[in-house]
Amino acid sequence: MILEEVYEIIKKRIEEKPENSYVAKLTTDDEKKSAINKICEKIGEESTELILAAKDDKKDEIIYEAADLIFHTMVLLAYKNIEFKELLQEFERRRK
């Protein structure tokens, strides 16, 4: 599943912190902001952009912003050491 592959890449970039990696920059504390603040701000920003796209009924933008929101949520999960399978288990629990 592509989401699991993306999640594994995110985890690797958090761990290895390659120099030109967006994920590494987002998940590293700096003099201006903590990593958790940067991640949460991105999730808030992407949530707002998705809401606006939905209200404007722009299908392509909805898809794009939903992908951004899911991606940044996955960064948060990986940063907090929550495995992707735990998220899937929660969906499975809710299905019952």
Alpha carbon distance 17, 84 (integer Å): 20
The CA-atom distances, in angstroms, between 64 and each of 10, 13, 37, 45 are 19, 22, 23, 13
Q: Residue 20 in 3-state DSSP?
A: coil
Average pLDDT over residues 32-51: 97
79 phi/psi in degrees, rounded to 5: -60, -35
Flag whether pLDDT at 67 surpasses 90. yes
Q: What local confidence, expressed as pLDDT, does residue 74 receive?
A: 98
Instruction: Enter the CATH code of domain 2-86.
Output: 1.10.287.1080
Confidence of residue 75 (pLDDT cuts 50, 70, 90): very high
Confidence of residue 96 (pLDDT cuts 50, 70, 90): confident
Query: What's the mean per-residue pLDDT of the chain?
Result: 97
pTM score of the predicted model? 0.93
Residue 94 corresponds to which amino acid? R
Q: What local confidence, expressed as pLDDT, does residue 1 receive?
A: 86
Average pLDDT over residues 33-38: 97
Q: Where are the domains of the chain?
A: 2-86
